[in-house]
Structure 1
Amino acid sequence: MRAVFRLIKRVIVIAVLLLILVLAPSVYVEVACRAAPEQQDSNSLITDTAFRRAEANTYLTYPEWHIVYAYEGLANTLKTGDEYAFPYLSSITGFWRSFCELNKEANRHGGGDFATRATIHTIGASFTLEMGLKAAYEETIGRLASGLRGPDKSEQDIFARKMAADYAGFLQQTPWYKYDFDAAVDGLWAQPVTSFLRAWERRLALGAEWKAKAAYARVIAGAVATTTGNAQLRIRSAVSGLSPDQLTSINGVDVVRTGADYVIIETPRYRAFTSIAREIFKAGGGFVEIAGNDDIMISAIRDKDSAGRGGADIRNGSIISRLEREGFGGSRLLVGTQVALLDELMVEFDAAGIRLEHIYDY
């Protein structure tokens, strides 16, 4: 009986330590990563309040995308390697390190509301736990099973690679909890067994992971539906340098009204918005305002072979954080800039061999 009590005590201690480890970064961000608010311009060309968004959200949108990029990196890693080759811990530290800097920027631009920050802390804790558990498993048992398998991947490995790529693509425009993890489990088990040990190890390990995600996704979907409802999937912007006809020729752009030297347009949000913005820049246009705001954050990719081109600083913006691009190599730059300078920033990026990755549309 004493042995049972000792075991229970150890389990409780480990659980408490794990909880502290997962929650500690959130406490640090809320206590240490703060800044004084700055004066904000309240004038806006976009008068419909349904299409005006808090400026601080451009900075607080990134953490969720960091998770998207982590899955992109994992999918890219699986093209040539196995799960253990992905730098899970680096991805975790990158999440919290960037969130710290972004929380400061959000404070300077009006601050994020409690619900937004709570959501980030929740997904951050979930991401930390998930990546930590994957690292512990894949770098031990997973590595051993792949080593015993040999260089030729099993059918389950191939399916896992395809699922990772599909999931990463899905996250570009749709919340993670809407993904059909149950179908992924069925697909995994439907694959033939060509490497007995690895096949069953993948079936059990990935099957359990995806089943857990499916259950958690249902909980999150229900919570989102009852607390926040459906997110606004459209955004309005003021654009200059292009006529209404030129703008409507771009797929996804609807003209709302025309001003003296600008045109108000309505477009989809998220990844689609970044693609549309590229087309606007390519056509010679620029933005005056986005969702009622004059400041915005973007992320850009600097590949290893472009590191020597251009300076370390950005003239038409400021680098908020530099992050490793896990699974790809090179680095990710989080850059704050004025909305009206986005077109000039793109020219600067082209000269320096830097690629626009995403515009964080609040």
Structure 2
Amino acid sequence: MKWRASRFLLAAAAVLAGMATAATVHPGQAGLHVPPPDRRGEEQTYLTFPEWFLVFSPAEYADWLQQHPPTRFPFFAHVGQFWSAYGHVVAATRGRYPFNGEYHTMICVIGASTTVEYTIKGVYDTLVGRLSQLGLPANATPEDRLAAGVERDYVDFIRVEPWYKFDFVTPLRRLWGGTPWWGPHALRKWERRYALSSEWLTKAAYGWLLGMATHEAYAVPKDTTLAVVRNLPADLPADVRQLAHRGDEYLLALPRYQGFGDAATALSARGTAFEEIAGNRGTILVSVLAPRDAPPPGYTRVLFTQPVLTKPGQQREVLQVPVDKLGALLDRYANTPGAIEHVFDY
């Protein structure tokens, strides 16, 4: 991962080393394969879900803030969803793969950090935030509107970068320098100033420390995922590169993380079929947002489902998909914007 988990990763949690790219063929095996330095264990498609949940949750919060006050967001239920999902991941990987102690340690660290953050927010907004919000519509003050915009910017940022690189100082300057000090709903204004200043100052300081520790301790992870495909289109997506080919098989470099799903969807729409991703020809995890009564494709297995707590009737289906069926799944949802939430590219 680009260490989506490094949002709350302490120096004790491990980051995989950067890897080199080169085409190779396994001894005694015909055909093209992802070279050993670019392979990642299949268990990582499962282990990366808890990390990405900490993108999905802030994204849900950012959507909620557009029309609702933060005081009604289900912080405690999201904590429960994180740990429940981790339990499913443990059950799915136990005994099937070697135990990845470093990754599990990292998940526990980010989970504990999120639990503390969401508990503080939930308790504060229940006891204090609701009082200042009493009788007011959502986003009644400039401070509320600023917070909603910053949360959206934050989510867009952490889809591609570690959270600790986000600039929390600029919103603080806008809060105190670009927002009127006085105006309607003064109690709510000053309560929000206190709450947002406390949050952003803490995250700015913690992020700076974490960034220093990560820079000193770990190599920069690679930002590509290599895949072996068939049916290469004449017009490759702009962020996809061909590295090698043998017969009708092609070795491609796709962007990693959020960009992998976008690139894979574009390739699938052009008729490309996946055979191997990051050295894996077995299972890849995909999360789909769908109505609760929508059955998943028969070639998938449901690892677990979660209700989208702020969108009644919608659920997150976490599907185990054969690598060679990934294109079929992406094509199935191609005409439903937002249905494919994430492809967990190891």
Question: Is this a same-fold pair by TM over 0.5?
Answer: yes
* CA–CA separation in structure 2 for the residues paired with 1:350 and 1:152: 34
CA contact (8 A) 2:68 2:138 kept: no
Does the residue aligned with 2:254 lie in a helix, a strand or coil? strand
Amino acid at match of 2:263: I
- Structure 1 stretches of 4+ with a deviation exceeding 4 A read 148-152, 347-354
Matched, 1:296 2:284: yes
Cross-structure match for 2:308: 325
Cross-structure match for 1:246: 235
Pairing of 1:1-362 with structure 2 (within 5 A): 45-147=32-134, 149=136, 153-190=140-177, 191-192=179-180, 193-194=182-183, 195-243=185-233, 245-247=234-236, 250-294=237-281, 295-303=283-291, 307-309=292-294, 311=295, 313-329=296-312, 330-349=314-333, 355-362=339-346
* CA–CA separation in structure 2 for the residues paired with 1:279 and 1:328: 28
| TM-score, normalised with respect to structure 2 | 0.84
CA drift of 1:201 comes to 0.6
The more displaced of 111-120 and 146-155 is: 146-155
| TM-score, normalised with respect to structure 1 | 0.81
Alpha-carbon spacing, 1:320–1:151, altered in 2? closer, same or farther (3 Å): closer
Does the residue aligned with 1:212 lie in a helix, a strand or coil? helix
Q: How many residues align?
A: 313
CA contact (8 A) 2:32 2:249 kept: no
* CA–CA separation in structure 2 for the residues paired with 1:150 and 1:47: 54
Structure 1, unmatched stretches of 5+, are 1-41
Does the residue aligned with 1:61 lie in a helix, a strand or coil? helix
Name the % identity.
Answer: 27
Q: For the aligned residues, what is the CA RMSD?
A: 2.3
- In terms of fraction of residues, the more helix-rich structure is 1
Larger radius of gyration, structure 1 or 2? 1
Q: Deviations over 1:94-117 (max 9, x none)?
A: 101011111222335424522211
Amino acid at match of 1:322: T
CA contact (8 A) 1:274 1:358 kept: yes
Amino acid at match of 2:128: I
CA contact (8 A) 2:33 2:228 kept: yes
Higher relative contact order (CA 8 A, sep 6+): 2
Amino acid at match of 1:113: N
CA drift of 1:140 comes to 2.1
* CA–CA separation in structure 2 for the residues paired with 1:308 and 1:297: 21
Does the residue aligned with 2:76 lie in a helix, a strand or coil? helix
Alpha-carbon spacing, 1:166–1:280, altered in 2? closer, same or farther (3 Å): same
* CA–CA separation in structure 1 for the residues paired with 2:338 and 2:82: 22
Q: Deviations over 1:218-269 (max 9, x none)?
A: 22222322333212111111111224x333xx11011001122321101210
* CA–CA separation in structure 2 for the residues paired with 1:252 and 1:260: 23
